[in-house]
Amino acid sequence: MESIRAIMKAVLPDQMYRVLVRYYHYLLAVFAAYHFGYPSRDLTVIGVTGTNGKTTVVHLLHEMFEAAGFPTASLSSLRFKIREVEEPNLLKMTMPGRFELQRFLSRAREAKCRYVILEVTSEGIRQNRHRFTTFRGAVLTNVTPEHIESHGGFEEYRKAKLELFRMVGLDGVAIINREDPSAELFASATRGRVSRYSRSEIEVEHVGRPVRVLGVGLDHIQIEVEGVFLGVRLGGEFNVMNLLAAITCAMSFRVSLTAIAQSLAKFPGVRGRLEFISRDPFSVVVDYAHTPDALESVYRTLEENREERIENRAVSTPYSLPPRLICVFGSAGGGRDRWKRPLFGAIAERHCQSIIITSEDPDDEDPAVIANQIRAGISSERVSSVEVILDRKKAIRTAIERAEPGDTVIITGMGAQPWFMDRGGKIPWDEAAIVREELSRQN
């Protein structure tokens, strides 16, 4: 099928190709759904969309529905999971192609699943991968700029995400982040019931349930909903909203707070999302952050912890040097969102005491050019001290060798992605394993 599209692109003028490729994607969606017998009609499919947090919400929801006794399947950028059977997502695509998606839904139906939770992307919607799937739920995490160049602007990017909410019918539910500036736009796009969440309240079926955030650390969040204590092994303020999105969605589909609490107590976390590989004598953290908003959130979370350690150090530790934040990061190539590269540099400068720029999925672009575009966002006072090490493994090794007791090394961009993409194609990649290997060299 992809060869047909490649031929179309090679022989047709650009404008004609852009028109015809939409029909191509649409027809593929028709054939895929028909071939597998429209499986979503026999399932309750919930789509999770937003710029950040989708994977975490999908994984949380899977555990919540299962804890309530509902057979569940879920699909995220990290995995395919049907009931308790889990397979890694090796497609290098958050939302798979039409045939792969419908095949997964068909397998979920065969396994007698009741709910299916899908991570839904704007790129997937733009390519009609969502067509002929019946969505009875849609969850919005947040909307900040991403894929601006491929969509042609923020409005077009947001419009693609709105399409998911337009597909939710009268018998469905839309779960909206009340704190997002686009909240009411998404709420007005759906025909279904609307549930809303914020740090102070969860609203389901027009009934407000009070929320109290009791504590947030690097590896835990504790909140209270309607007087029920909920604790989970997730870290960072940014994950509070992801947790509330999942709780609100589960409650909207009649999952009890008791079942939610049970699932959260056993939740193992999400690989590649604020994942601590080491904590002593220094910390090494891997995170998927690949947007300015996500990078800022992760750095701020680690910086706040660093400031606490500086305050406590004088009386609690023998180390004389203040702990530092050492960052290793790059920006994806392939023409994706070049606008964000200097922003990454500026964000790193604000939060990190030592900066190493490296390669991150450069695809068909020159990684040195990408690195220079990141450096352009760093002030002249700091840029001379910034290191560019394009070999990502070497960059990780350098950061770990440089770390002193109490420091934090934060490596962002790849997370738990299974492939590294460069001009040579797909290279198997496991960032956490690479970090562990480099740590073992130090011992």
In tens, the pLDDT along 328-348 reads 999 999 877 899 999 999 999
Mean pLDDT for the stretch of residues 124-135: 90
C-alpha to C-alpha distance for 135 and 118, rounded to whole angstroms: 10
Instruction: Judge if 36-266 and 275-442 fold alike in CATH terms.
Output: no
pLDDT exceeding 70 applies to what percent of the chain? 89
322: left (phi over 0), alpha (psi -120 to 50) or beta: beta
pLDDT at 12: 57
In this predicted structure, the answer to whether residue 7 has a pLDDT above a threshold of 60 is no
Fold of 275-442: Protein-Tyrosine Phosphatase; Chain A (3.90.190)
**What are φ and ψ of residue 362, in 5° steps?**
-70, -20
Residues 6+ apart with CB under 8 A from 155: none
Cis peptide before 323 (omega within 30 of 0): no
pLDDT at 339: 92
| 160, burial (CB in 10 Å: exposed 0-12, middle 13-18, buried 19+) | buried
C-alpha to C-alpha distance for 249 and 263, rounded to whole angstroms: 14
CA–chain centroid gap for 438, Å, is: 26
In this predicted structure, the answer to whether residue 147 has a pLDDT above a threshold of 90 is no
Mean pLDDT for the stretch of residues 100-108: 97
For the entire predicted model, the pTM comes to 0.91
With cut-offs at 50, 70 and 90, classify the pLDDT of residue 320. very low
Which of residues 336 and 262 earns the better pLDDT score? 262
With cut-offs at 50, 70 and 90, classify the pLDDT of residue 309. low
| 257, burial (CB in 10 Å: exposed 0-12, middle 13-18, buried 19+) | middle
In this predicted structure, the answer to whether residue 307 has a pLDDT above a threshold of 90 is no
| Terminal CA-CA length for the chain | 50
Is residue 181 within 8 Å of 188, Cβ to Cβ?
Answer: no
Helix or strand (DSSP H, E) at 62: helix 54-67
Is residue 202 within 8 Å of 251, Cβ to Cβ?
Answer: yes
With cut-offs at 50, 70 and 90, classify the pLDDT of residue 318. very low
C-alpha to C-alpha distance for 169 and 88, rounded to whole angstroms: 32
C-alpha to C-alpha distance for 109 and 37, rounded to whole angstroms: 10
pLDDT digits (tens, 9 = 90+) for 41-94: 999 999 999 999 999 999 999 999 999 999 999 999 999 999 999 999 998 888
SS3 18: helix
pLDDT at 153: 79
pLDDT at 315: 41
Is residue 260 within 8 Å of 57, Cβ to Cβ?
Answer: no
CA–chain centroid gap for 305, Å, is: 22
pLDDT at 93: 84
Mean pLDDT for the stretch of residues 366-387: 96
The domain locations on the chain are 36-266, 275-442
SS3 159: helix
Fold of 36-266: UDP-N-acetylmuramoyl-L-alanine:D-glutamate ligase (3.40.1190)
pLDDT at 314: 45
CA–chain centroid gap for 213, Å, is: 22
With cut-offs at 50, 70 and 90, classify the pLDDT of residue 321. low
Report in angstroms the alpha-carbon separations of 38 from 26, 43, 126. Answer: 15, 10, 20
With cut-offs at 50, 70 and 90, classify the pLDDT of residue 322. confident
DSSP annotation of 375: H
Is residue 235 within 8 Å of 301, Cβ to Cβ?
Answer: yes
